[in-house]
Amino acid sequence: MENSTRRKFLTVTGAAAALALAGTLPGITASGATTVDTDRVPGYPFTLGIASGDPLPDAVVIWTRLAPKPLDPFGGMNDRPVSVRWEVAEDERFRRIVRSGNALARREESHSVHVDVRGLRPWRHYFYRFHVGGHTSPVGRTRTSPTAHQSVPAVSLAYASCQAWYEGFYTAYRDMAKQDHDVVFHLGDYIYEYGVGADGGLRKQDMAVDFQRETTTLDDYRGRYALYKTDPDLQAAHAAAPWIITNDDHEVENNWAGDISENNDPVAQFLVRRANAFRAWWEHQPVRTTQLPTGPDIQMYRRFQYGDLIRFNVLDTRQYRDDQAAGDGIKAPNPDSLDPNRTITGAAQEKWLLDGMAQHSARWEVLAHQTAIAQLDTAAGPPVLVPMDTWDGYVASRKRILGGAQDRKVRNLVSIAGDLHRSVASELRPDYADPSSPVVATEFVGTSITSGQDGMDLDAGGQTILDENPHVKFGNFQRGYVRCEVTPREWTADYRVVDKVSIRDGKVTTRAKLTVEDRVPAIHVH
């Protein structure tokens, strides 16, 4: 077997599966090195940028990863831990430093640094940076959340998903970085497991063979995150605001469900792959140690309260779901998709969500998650054909969550999601088969950052969705993201679209402005 610091687990033995299940990841054994480097790194180490995330009223996580050669194994770092100095200040010039310290960047964590900065003041902007080896990182701007019961007049947020690196340029992130957002959500498909091609697809960048294959090993997943994070526009968007991040399927493998892989690989083999994927995700995102995976398991769902205005429920609709109904794909509603016992969230997460709704802690209750809840009939005419990978394949979950919100008299329920590579804004009903089922929530599905390439204003598939689903109020098939302004009176969603992601300097405009009024779950298109 190869050196323990860079093992390749292309096949799974019983022992390897046991290690993954026990939480000891392949190639993640603690380094035997005892020497700590305080001032030596082999080149500029902040090539992957900096980031902050998971804001609380008194805390925020700040992140970086030392990688002087970002696309090399371990970023070009040696096996010694490195001491990294960090600072948080109230001003961009760091004249009023309020917190500082040293963190250890270890090889077994890809020399990433996650600092959970505590003792901050609520609902305030801060600036942060890192120092190591005579180098200073770029400066990041972040913001804590308000206290739980604080009166908040407005919150500005943005959300994005689906950013296949090889399918275009991150122009949408360049635009996002110029805006003033209190928080940014990434709702899945931060990376894609597919090979990027010898020429990097639309990027036209020569790629080493390691990047041309599908990710399965820990090295593969680490390399893919490093590749994506070299993008300057993505780095700028991370540096401009705190991010709250969940994952979808491509962070592991297309359309995985629970312990079932796309191609029905042996469960033990897939769980090792899932463990590798989750570990690399944690190493490269500004999240707390509470999100540190234990083998193939990770605590992804969590809540963030923004005063009395908004509560965000960040969901995980991959790890606990039943397998896709009827073999996946686009199908007519069927006994599997209509089975009352099936779930997309798992029982524990569903209870957590419904119990939280009963607390009525904020004016707007938000589901920040992966894919569309709304029924999306994709067939013209009388036949009904819906995707089995969305909530259409888990009708009972839709009924329980939306019906539960209605029973608990949730004041305003809003779903924000991605995955579809198109923008779709819908009014949500617990039961689309029942004409008397009321509208109880609204949903704003955002398009992809790049996945699907340039697109167009409205393709044939999008027109069919509008024609066949009267609850769908807006559709678009361009790339971009959604920015929202939320007040006690109104939720406003601006759909920002890019005319072309196939070139570096596409034009970003607002395609539509949609609003929802307090207590009225109806979408108005302006």
Q: What contacts 331, CB < 8 A, 6 or more positions away?
A: 325, 337, 385, 386, 388
Are 223 and 280 spatial neighbours (Cβ–Cβ below 8 Å)? Answer: no
Q: For the chain, give the number of residues.
A: 526
* Residue 236 and residue 312 in one domain: yes
Q: Residue 505: what pLDDT?
A: 93
Q: Among 120, 143, 166, identify where a domain stops.
A: 143
**How many domains does one find in the chain?**
2
CA distances from 220 to 138, 160, 214, 248, 451 (A): 27, 24, 8, 18, 20
Rounded to whole angstroms, the Cα distance separating 494 from 483 reads: 5
User: What share of residues in the chain are helix, strand, coil (percent, to 5)?
Assistant: 20, 30, 50
Q: Which helix (H) or strand (E) holds 432?
A: none
DSSP-derived letter for residue 49 is -
Closest CA to 471 of 443, 509, 499, 505: 443
Give the CA angle between residues 243, 246, 252 to the nearest 5°. 130
Question: Token pair for residue 408?
Answer: 């608990």
Rounded to whole angstroms, the Cα distance separating 475 from 458 reads: 7
Q: Is residue 95 part of a domain?
A: yes
Q: Residue 40: what pLDDT?
A: 79
Q: Residue 36: what pLDDT?
A: 61
Q: Which helix (H) or strand (E) holds 368?
A: strand 364-368
* Residue 234 and residue 369 in one domain: yes
Full pLDDT tens readout for the chain, 526 residues: 333 333 333 333 343 344 444 444 433 333 344 456 556 799 999 999 999 999 999 999 999 999 999 999 999 999 999 999 999 999 999 999 999 999 999 999 999 999 999 999 999 999 999 999 999 999 999 999 999 999 999 999 999 999 999 999 999 999 999 999 999 999 999 999 999 999 999 999 999 999 999 999 999 999 999 999 999 999 999 999 999 999 999 999 999 999 999 999 999 999 999 999 999 999 999 999 999 999 999 999 999 999 999 999 999 999 999 999 999 999 999 999 999 999 999 999 999 999 999 999 999 999 999 999 999 999 999 999 999 999 999 999 999 999 999 999 999 999 999 999 999 999 999 999 999 999 999 999 999 999 999 999 999 999 999 999 999 999 999 999 999 999 999 999 999 999 999 999 999 999 999 999 999 999 999 9
Q: What contacts 170, CB < 8 A, 6 or more positions away?
A: 163, 231, 233, 234, 237, 449, 450
DSSP-derived letter for residue 43 is S
Q: Among 90, 116, 143, identify where a domain stops.
A: 143
* Residue 229 and residue 333 in one domain: yes
* Residue 101 and residue 80 in one domain: yes
Place of tokens 């605001």: 241
* Residue 93 and residue 229 in one domain: no
Question: Token pair for residue 453?
Answer: 């390439």
Q: Is residue 232 part of a domain?
A: yes
Rounded to whole angstroms, the Cα distance separating 144 from 56 reads: 6
Q: Is residue 17 part of a domain?
A: no
Closest CA to 233 of 511, 509, 501, 519: 501
* Residue 80 and residue 195 in one domain: no
CATH at 63: 2.60.40.380
Q: Is residue 367 part of a domain?
A: yes
pTM more than 0.85: yes
Q: What contacts 373, CB < 8 A, 6 or more positions away?
A: 367, 390, 391, 398, 401, 402, 415, 417, 426, 428, 441, 443
DSSP track, 196-217? --TT-GGG-----GGGSS---S
Q: Residue 38: what pLDDT?
A: 59
Q: Is residue 11 part of a domain?
A: no
* Residue 119 and residue 176 in one domain: no
CB atoms within 10 A of CB 110: 25
- Residue ranges making up the domain that contains 114: 35-143
What is the DSSP pairing of strand 441-445 with strand 386-387? Answer: unpaired
* Residue 75 and residue 164 in one domain: no
Q: Residue 469: what pLDDT?
A: 98
* Residue 48 and residue 191 in one domain: no
CB atoms within 10 A of CB 127: 20
* Residue 127 and residue 39 in one domain: yes
Q: Is residue 121 part of a domain?
A: yes
* Residue 127 and residue 264 in one domain: no
Q: Is residue 47 part of a domain?
A: yes
Q: Is residue 10 part of a domain?
A: no
Q: Among 123, 143, 163, identify where a domain stops.
A: 143
CATH at 172: 3.60.21.70
Q: Which helix (H) or strand (E) holds 460?
A: helix 460-468
Are 481 and 463 spatial neighbours (Cβ–Cβ below 8 Å)? Answer: no
* Residue 269 and residue 173 in one domain: yes
